[in-house]
Amino acid sequence: MKQLTSSEQDVFALALDGHSVKEMQDILFKEENTIKTQRRSILQKLNVSSMKEAIDFYKKTTQTSSQNFTNYHQEIFQKLVKTS
């Protein structure tokens, strides 16, 4: 599995929180096409066909280290809050 870029990680963290593309645009100050391109890249890198499948895959693979998942999620959220 290829590693996600920092921009893709930001998009994925927001997807994990259930944000829509429009909400991601507002939070990240990016164009709709940029968000959609990053989402497609995430799906391709995770070898899945939907964002739901990507989220399920991520949660399943990080389940054994749920504290790492929580810490990562909080770190991304704090980063996004600071830039807003």
Q: What would the pLDDT profile of 10-62 be if each residue is shown by its tens digit?
A: 999 999 999 999 999 999 999 999 999 999 999 999 899 999 999 998 888 77
What residues contact 1, with CB distance under 8 A and at least 6 apart?
45, 46, 47
Name the region of 47 (left: φ>0; alpha: ψ -120 to 50; beta: rest). left
pTM to 2 decimals? Answer: 0.73
Predicted confidence at residue 31, as pLDDT, reads: 97
- Tell me what the mean pLDDT of segment 54-71 comes to: 72
Predicted confidence at residue 60, as pLDDT, reads: 83
